[in-house]
Amino acid sequence: MAPINDMICDEIRVQARKLLETGEVAAFIGYAAGSLPMTVKPLVVRRPEDCARLVWNSFCVLNLATYLPEVLRSVESPHDPRDPKPEEPQPKVAILATGCWSRNIAIQIQEKRVARERVLVIGIGSRGMVSRAKVKALFPGQEILTVEEGDHELLVRGPDFTETINRWSVVRDNCRTCAHPDPVLVDMRIGEPVSERKNPQPFQQVELIEQKSGEERWAWFRAEFATCIRCYACRNVCPLCYCPTCFVDDARPQWLGKSLDAVDTGMFHILRAHHCAGRCTDCGACESVCPMGINMRLLTKKLNKDVLELFGIEAGMEPESPLPLTTYPPAGPEFIVADLAPVPARKPFEAVAVPPAEGEKSCRP
């Protein structure tokens, strides 16, 4: 019997061709083979004859939800962005989605980025995607030419070696801790459903850092992000980062510098992580594309833990509910307003005396 992923790949091609030939969708978002071993690239198929280029394997790590809004706009009838929304039904777009990607699509719907009726979600239960970095780490200094997939093993070949490795041992960290590998939104399913994984310690990596002292956490942060080259690959691949002008590109005001200074770099990662609070599905795309191997996912993982503890919500799991940080019920956690000491009242326009600093003379006569 062919490996599971090969059977899924064949079915993807069949269904994509059928959807495009019948006109049910105007475009199909999937993957094509990459130019290097263990890589794929996003592919938007618009013609039935191009469906043979679609692939599915354990290295499909890019989150396709990132490309959904732009592809939807590309198939709309021509109109000025300032014109009213067209009354006639607009074309649909099909997209492949595992658990975390479907949750990102749910967030895009919640944030009014896409219209649910225009998206056909092709659901695939995730068996966990493989980390290219982990595979390469097993063969230091050796060139990997091909990797062939079985259901539970990978056959790795190089110029002078052939070795079989256990597939699960090189699965990405976010997939190993994922509790929801099956899609939340599904219009058409390919392959068998995948049951939820019972993980007693989904935030173990975060908790290990939380247990450190303040000085130790600061040392970890500085060491982890010291190699960042500010390429912004993590931002560009994230389906949550869609601001027309990112805060790092804003010049009026300039929120932070673009240098490789540790303060500028650290602030970029902290601010970007907080922009994803309550919205990140831990898809791991940011880590997968980082050329320096930085574990920036741990920042958003920490915020996922906080949101779950404060609100009891996991991003994208409740498509019909508002996002946790966009609504403020009276009974919600009161962590935004701090308890401050009462400020002494003073008369209107009453001047406040500021004592001179040591060594300075007062301006008063």
pLDDT in the model for residue 40? 96
pLDDT in the model for residue 327? 74
58 vs 3: CA distance, rounded Å: 11
193 vs 37: CA distance, rounded Å: 28
- Partners of residue 42 on adjacent β-strands: 31
175 vs 100: CA distance, rounded Å: 9
pLDDT in the model for residue 51? 98
pLDDT digits 0-9 by tens, 181-226 = 999 999 999 999 988 888 768 899 999 999 999 999 999 999 999 9
Nearest-5° angle of CA 164, CA 166, CA 168? Answer: 150
Low-confidence ranges of the chain (pLDDT < 70): 1, 200, 328-365
- Partners of residue 130 on adjacent β-strands: 171
pLDDT digits 0-9 by tens, 318-355 = 888 888 888 766 665 555 444 444 555 555 544 445 45
Domain boundaries, the chain: 1-129+181-199, 200-328
pLDDT in the model for residue 329? 65
Q: Give Cα separations from 283 to 225, 234, 237, 341 (angstroms).
A: 20, 12, 11, 42
pLDDT in the model for residue 136? 96
Q: Kindly list the strands in the beta sheet with 153-158, ordered across the sheet, starting from the edge strand earlier in the chain.
A: 146-149, 153-158, 161-166
Phi, psi of 350 (to 5 degrees): -75, 130
Provide the CB-side half-sphere exposure for 28 (13 A, CA).
29
pTM of this prediction? 0.86
- Is the Cβ–Cβ distance between 219 and 84 less than 8 Å? no
Number of C-beta neighbours around residue 222 at 10 A: 12
Helix-then-strand count for the chain, H and E: 11, 8
How many residues does this entry show for the chain?
365
pLDDT in the model for residue 348? 52
pLDDT in the model for residue 340? 45
Where is 174: in which H helix or E strand?
helix 173-176
3-state SS class at 86: coil
